[in-house]
Amino acid sequence: MSLFGSGTAAVASTPDGIAVLDAVGNAIRWRYNPPQGCELASIAVGVNGVVVLESCTTGTTWLAEFDLYSGDQQWRVAPPPGEVSVLGADGVVSLLVGRELLILSVRDGSLLANPGAVADSGLVESPSSAVTMFAGQAAGRGTPLVYLSGTLYAIDPASGAQLWSVTADGLPADNGDAGIVVFEAGDAVTRDPLTGRELSRSDLLESAGSAEGGLEGLTRIERAGQVLVADTDDGLLAYG
């Protein structure tokens, strides 16, 4: 069984189905089980809902999105050809197709950007180490972010085009109107999420005396008050 979180809900999944739980309390919002002869080959949860890839014994596959709160199906489309993994549903639906990144619309599952528009075709990445987030308010203006193969990509939610990219250590922390805080080669860099422009840079990690290699396996950074919390292979590391 796998467990995913979106900040407002948790999703428990197996190949036979999913259950969406309230982030507070233990109530089950809704369940979904694929049709007989099908199983869930890949799943991701984000601010826009839950996206699943169904693989059936008939040889057909389907990509579908469900509303995070009601469980209502929003759309169902045939996935692109190739080996597909769902990465996220944060402002856009991001897929790993073979060795490339593909961006779909969260509204109807239609193609927004081809792989070459947002990723180097030479990238090799495991879906388990690729993560996404939405910098901003889910119902308002914001920027979808995808972390893949050591690079952070900012995506235009309307067109799926790449806005900017930077070499980074995992997903950044969303600091609201002040920007996003990206860990880059030992520095904490605040950037404008829309343009990628550097707003400030701090040697916070060095001054905190972090051990060499302490950020190995970092995938995500969260802000808790004035403290940055990094989720790494070695556990949670706090800087502030």
- Rounded to whole angstroms, the Cα distance separating 13 from 19 reads 6
Domain region containing 189: 168-240
- If asked whether residues 150 and 34 sit together in one domain, one would say yes
Among 117, 142, 167, identify where a domain stops: 167
**C-beta atoms surrounding 142 within 10 Å:** 19
* Residue where the block lists tokens 């984000």: 46
- Which range has the top average pLDDT, 116-130, 152-166, 196-210? 152-166
Residue 119: both structure tokens together: 């990723």
pLDDT at 121 over 50: no
The predicted structure's pLDDT at residue 177: 84
- If asked whether residues 162 and 220 sit together in one domain, one would say no
**Average per-residue pLDDT for the chain:** 81
The predicted structure's pLDDT at residue 175: 83
- Rounded to whole angstroms, the Cα distance separating 11 from 21 reads 6
Among 134, 167, 200, identify where a domain stops: 167
pLDDT digits (tens, 9 = 90+) for 161-217: 999 999 998 888 888 888 998 988 878 899 999 999 999 998 755 544 444 445 555
DSSP letter for each residue of 33-96 = -PPTTEEEEEEEEETTEEEEEEEETTS-EEEEEE-TTT--EEEEEPPPSS-EEEEEESSSEEEE
- Rounded to whole angstroms, the Cα distance separating 68 from 9 reads 8
